[in-house]
Amino acid sequence: MSVEQSLLGKDTNYPTEYQPDILFPIARANAREQYAHVEGIRQGKDWWHVFEISWLNASGVPQVAIGRLTLPASSDNLIESKSLKLYFNSMNFTKFDSQAAFKATVEKDLSAAANDAVTIDLFHVDDVEISKPQGICIDDLEPTQLENHPNAALLSLDEDAAQEEVEIQLYSHLLRSNCPVTGQPDWGTVFIRYKGTKPCYRSILAYIISYRQHNGFHEQCVEQMFADIWQHLKPSQLMVYAAYTRRGGLDINPCRVSDLTWMPRPIRLARQ
């Protein structure tokens, strides 16, 4: 199914009865065609924080939680975000014997939509910690060039570093892209862990800023960043992780790695 057939950007009624068939899968393969050969594109995870989770216990009393979904990057499908929001809203008036029963139902339904094993961890609403970004913030640098659409040619190595080998983590809060269906802006913080010949930090900032008018789903933006950095700067190891801000009660945090030993733990930043 194409995203044009989804509920994204359309007026909809919020269901009050459990409705698993409202979940809308989107195949990853089409967006990956141009960089399917890039090592690491199918390695990693998409973490979603779901802030609007509620169901009824066996006595009919509402329960609430914050959920963290984990979708493998190897899954055939991602799940369109509005359909996921409506799915969780459809459970607001459904009774479950236990939290474990609710969790099992969610994992079954989302795994079917993604065509891979999806898990959910449930947290008390006061228990999700706020993390501080780790690494070197590059936002105060002067970008080498300003463009409004992704351009991998912006990426370059540091000419003054004499082929110095580094292992670093950079981050920027200046990531902005647009939903490909509604045109609504998506904001995020992007982390780049990199091992290889030292890159020009100003060029990486310019590249991140170049997504400013790009239309793409969160997962696709991260995979394009990963592929462009991998192919143009040729590091020996790479991680790209974007922590997008919340929209519709959801934030999406895709991460791709060339080496599974570089998988970070999921975090939640203050503006999420």
Domain extent, residue 184, equals 136-262
Q: Tell whether residue 2 is among the known ligand binding residues.
A: no
152 and 101 share a domain?
A: no
Strands 165-178 and 136-137: parallel
Portion of the chain with pLDDT greater than 90, in percent: 88
Per-residue pLDDT at 242 exceeds 70: yes
Q: What is the count of structural domains for the chain?
A: 2
150 and 48 share a domain?
A: no
**Which of the following is catalytic: 179, 200, 221, 255?**
179
203-213 confidence digits (pLDDT tens) = 999 999 999 99
Q: Tell whether residue 39 is among the known ligand binding residues.
A: no
271, part of any domain: no
111-129 confidence digits (pLDDT tens) = 999 999 999 999 999 998 9
131, part of any domain: no
119 and 212 share a domain?
A: no
144 and 251 share a domain?
A: yes
Question: In the predicted model, what is the mean pLDDT of residues 29-45?
Answer: 91
Q: Which of 123, 148, 179 is the last residue of a domain?
A: 123
Per-residue pLDDT at 230 exceeds 60: yes
Q: Tell whether residue 82 is among the known ligand binding residues.
A: yes
128, part of any domain: no
Count of CB atoms within 10 A of residue 253's CB? Answer: 27
Q: Which of 71, 97, 123 is the last residue of a domain?
A: 123
Q: Which of 89, 123, 157 is the last residue of a domain?
A: 123
107 and 145 share a domain?
A: no
Q: Tell whether residue 4 is among the known ligand binding residues.
A: no
Per-residue pLDDT at 5 exceeds 50: no
Question: In the predicted model, what is the mean pLDDT of residues 141-147?
Answer: 96
**Which of the following is catalytic: 46, 109, 186, 228?**
186
Per-residue pLDDT at 237 exceeds 60: yes
Per-residue pLDDT at 11 exceeds 80: no
For residue 75, what is the domain's CATH number? 3.30.1130.10
Confidence of residue 145 (pLDDT cuts 50, 70, 90): very high
Supply the mean pLDDT for the chain.
94
158 and 80 share a domain?
A: no
Report pTM: 0.93
pLDDT of the residue at 115: 98
40-85 confidence digits (pLDDT tens) = 899 999 999 999 999 999 999 999 999 999 999 999 999 999 999 9
Portion of the chain with pLDDT greater than 70, in percent: 96
152, part of any domain: yes
130, part of any domain: no
pLDDT of the residue at 4: 53
Per-residue pLDDT at 8 exceeds 60: no
Q: Tell whether residue 216 is among the known ligand binding residues.
A: no
96 and 164 share a domain?
A: no
91 and 202 share a domain?
A: no
pLDDT of the residue at 3: 52
186 as an active site residue: the answer is yes
Q: Tell whether residue 271 is among the known ligand binding residues.
A: no
